[in-house]
Amino acid sequence: KCDLSLYTTYVFFFFFTLKMQSYTRRVFFFFFFFLNQFRNSNNTEERRNVKILILLGVNQLIFFQALNSKLMCVCVCVCVCVCVCKNDTLGDGNENQFVTGPCEKNWDGSITYQCTSGNWMEFRRDCILQVINDLQRNVERIPAFVSNLSNVTVQNNQIITQSPLTVQTIVEILVNIASILKNIIIDKAVMNFLKTVDVLVSDKAAASWQSLTKENTSISLLSAIENVTDRLSDVDFTFTETFIELNRTVIKNSYRGKSNLPNSTTEILIPQVLKTTSLTVLVFAKLGKVLPSRNTGNLVSHINGNVVIVKVNETLNNISFTFDITDQSLVNPQCVFWNFNLNAWDSTGCEAKPSGNETGKITCECNHTTTFSILMFNPNDHIALDYITYIGVSISMASLILCLIIESIMWKSINDTSNYTSYMRHVSIVNIVVSLLIANICFIIGAAIAEPEQPTSVGRCSPVVFFMHFFYLALFFWMLISALLLFYRTVMVSHGHGQSWSQMLKAKMMVIAFIVGYGAPLLIAVITVASTAGQENYISKRNSCWLNWYESKALLAFVIPALTILAINLVVLIVVLYKMLGRGVASIQRDEKHALVVIAICVAILTPFFGLTWGFGIGTMVSQDFGMHVVFALLNSLQVSLCEFLF
């Protein structure tokens, strides 16, 4: 590809000089013409080409004058053809010349081109996607931002720690920072992050945390801390503040470390690692006062030691911690870790071990790494609830046994009566008593298995939970049978169906009652086991032998049927009272009417009483108030006695 304009210029010069007879005129015209071309050139490349023409022109003049040969001039004219690259953006260039141009739209950087065979060809591409480049620039500003945040927090710690909303806002900022850093390796400068955390978890901020929703804000803070520690660069360093200590190190075979925080001797031991890896250990002296405690059955446990975060790149099968006990008055230590799937403390994979002759210390052995601590119970709460529960259940069981003895003595006369309403009432009584007695026995066994200091045994707890679930449901379904009997004898009789009852056989009545009383609870209990067995979420993982709530919501298989029956009984009671007050049962015999009144009184009292009891039971799942647990224990233990006295 040749520059035709230069070629045309030279041809014009060649033929024009042929017409000039004087050699002096030819020389004058040559210098005037090419000097003007050189002056009007726009860039270096054009001037370079003009210089070539000047040299060729001089060459032509010499040979033209000496030889007067047109052939020589034609040969020189052919040599003026020069190859160049043309582009509106990159400009013009000669063969093998390099030029730099911008990247395409939405890209940052540059592209280097080379002039090859008259075309600009891409030689090297140095482009980065614009959005990624913007993120990179933002990341480069993060250390300065975190440093400014920590400086402001430290300088204003007195004001910040007294404002719950300010504390919550700073936590949200830290969460956002941790989210940005999630996929980016960060360096030591970002550990100013922990300076801010140190202020937030200090004793001065305790009142602010009490005002905040701990279940959300504190968990968000812990998650942000874990995200930051996951993205540390592989450089050994130590960072220490008043209540926080961070150690980043590379371990080859094993590791033993000890906290240097004031009044803390927390130790971490990793007996063996398979290969060289990076280890991060964070020890918090005050984070336990921020994180939520744990509601275990009828007890509230408290964090009673440092909170330790351990992060390692390799899988560990054994790691041990030795914690100092903060409050020596608490008992029953549990080694736990924070489970983000449950949003709660979990003891799976951790076990408490004796600490030898050392007092005031607890050793924990775990088979994984995450956030660890120890939980302990107030012994007074534990003892009080134990006494209330066991004494109440003992009284209930004694009442149940007494009721069965009385029923067995009177059963012959009951069986011979022609009053089928009274007969079915006593059948319901016996089955309610039997169901509650077996359920209470299972309750005692479950309480013995699920001691607070021991993890829940799935193998031993599962059968106990199944039978408790089944017999507690049977209690409610036999109450439903009593209510339906009451409804039939009051409502159906007033509509002219009074004779149909006497024609029914006892066997047929018993079949219907037992299908409803035991068949429906059995079906519900079996379906509950089948639907949760694969996930291993049938029983609670919170040290109690009862249906799981937090993972599988299996407890709903008891709550929904029980509350539904209570609602049906309440509706039946309203209808029956309306009929009785409206003299709708005048045709019923006196002794049968007496039986109906007794059933109505029992349903009227037991329905709201059971509803209140299990209402408090549901409340204990969402509240850690000690008083609520005491009320539920009292009502749950003594409801049987009230039931028996009423019947």
What's the Cα-to-Cα distance from 194 to each of 108, 149, 239, 242, 564, rounded to whole Å?
A: 35, 11, 9, 11, 51
Residue 296 has pLDDT above 80, yes or no: no
Query: Of 622, 618, 551, 554, nearest to 342 (Cα)?
Result: 551
Q: Which of 79-83, 134-138, 462-466, 618-622 has the lowest mean pLDDT?
A: 79-83
The CA-CA-CA angle for residues 457, 461, 464, to 5°, reads: 165
Q: Looking at residues 61-74, what average pLDDT do you find?
A: 47
Confidence of residue 597 (pLDDT cuts 50, 70, 90): low
Residues 466/442, Cβ–Cβ less than 8 Å: no
Residue 501 has pLDDT above 50, yes or no: no
The predicted pLDDT at position 162 comes to 82
**Three-class secondary structure assignment of 61-86:** HHHHHHHCCHHHHHHHHHCCCCEEEC
The alpha carbons of the chain give a radius of gyration, in whole angstroms, of: 45
Residue 3 has pLDDT above 60, yes or no: no
Which among 59-68, 148-157, 532-541, 602-611 has the top mean pLDDT?
A: 148-157
Q: What's the predicted TM-score (pTM) here?
A: 0.54
Confidence of residue 174 (pLDDT cuts 50, 70, 90): confident
- How many other CB atoms are found less than 10 A from the CB of residue 206? 13
- How many other CB atoms are found less than 10 A from the CB of residue 18? 12
Which among 302-311, 344-353, 450-459 has the top mean pLDDT?
A: 302-311
pLDDT tens-digit profile of 212-221?
755 578 888 8
Q: Which of 457-461, 539-543, 552-556 has the lowest mean pLDDT?
A: 539-543
The predicted pLDDT at position 625 comes to 57
HSE-CB of 159 using CA atoms within 13 angstroms: 6
d(C-alpha 490, C-alpha 498), whole Å: 9
Which among 142-146, 179-183, 267-271 has the top mean pLDDT?
A: 267-271
pLDDT tens-digit profile of 406-431?
888 888 877 766 666 777 778 888 89
Structure tokens at 291: 């994180």
Q: Looking at residues 81-87, what average pLDDT do you find?
A: 69
Which among 90-94, 524-528, 542-546 has the top mean pLDDT?
A: 524-528
Residue 28 has pLDDT above 90, yes or no: no
pLDDT tens-digit profile of 322-370?
888 888 878 778 888 888 887 788 877 888 876 666 677 888 888 888 8
d(C-alpha 642, C-alpha 189), whole Å: 67
The predicted pLDDT at position 533 comes to 73
| Mean of all residue pLDDT scores within the chain | 74
Confidence of residue 77 (pLDDT cuts 50, 70, 90): very low
d(C-alpha 345, C-alpha 336), whole Å: 6
The predicted pLDDT at position 561 comes to 93
What's the Cα-to-Cα distance from 384 to each of 360, 381, 634, rounded to whole Å?
A: 25, 5, 11
The predicted pLDDT at position 557 comes to 93
Q: Which of 79-88, 229-238, 613-622 has the lowest mean pLDDT?
A: 613-622
Q: Looking at residues 44-65, what average pLDDT do you find?
A: 54
Residue 473 has pLDDT above 90, yes or no: yes
The predicted pLDDT at position 358 comes to 66
Give the residue carrying structure tokens 């039997």. Answer: 434
Query: Of 307, 245, 314, nearest to 279 (Cα)?
Result: 314
Q: What percent of the chain has pLDDT over 70?
A: 65
The predicted pLDDT at position 179 comes to 76
d(C-alpha 256, C-alpha 573), whole Å: 69
Confidence of residue 490 (pLDDT cuts 50, 70, 90): confident
Residue 229 has pLDDT above 50, yes or no: yes
The predicted pLDDT at position 514 comes to 92
Residue 474 has pLDDT above 90, yes or no: yes
Q: Looking at residues 5-17, what average pLDDT do you find?
A: 55
Residue 78 Cα to chain centre, angstroms: 80
Read out DSSP for 187-242?
-GGGGHHHHHHHHHTSGGGHHHHHHS-HHHHHHHHHHHHHHHHHTB-S--EEEE-S
The predicted pLDDT at position 87 comes to 84
Confidence of residue 466 (pLDDT cuts 50, 70, 90): very high
Structure tokens at 639: 């409801």
Q: Which residues pair with 301 in a beta bridge?
A: 294, 377
Instruction: Give kind and range of the element (H or E) at residue 364.
Output: strand 361-366
Q: Looking at residues 429-449, what average pLDDT do you find?
A: 86
Q: What percent of the chain has pLDDT over 90?
A: 6
Residue 269 Cα to chain centre, angstroms: 28
Q: Looking at residues 614-640, what average pLDDT do you find?
A: 60
Which among 515-524, 573-582, 615-624 has the top mean pLDDT?
A: 515-524
The predicted pLDDT at position 371 comes to 82
The predicted pLDDT at position 498 comes to 44
**Three-class secondary structure assignment of 141-159:** HHHHHHHHHHHHHHHCHHH
Confidence of residue 80 (pLDDT cuts 50, 70, 90): very low
Rounded (10°) CA dihedral 190, 195, 200, 203: 160
The predicted pLDDT at position 539 comes to 84
Confidence of residue 524 (pLDDT cuts 50, 70, 90): very high
Give the residue carrying structure tokens 């939980």. Answer: 375
Q: Looking at residues 435-457, what average pLDDT do you find?
A: 75
pLDDT tens-digit profile of 544-594?
788 887 678 888 999 899 889 988 988 888 887 777 776 555 555 555 555
Residue 72 has pLDDT above 80, yes or no: no
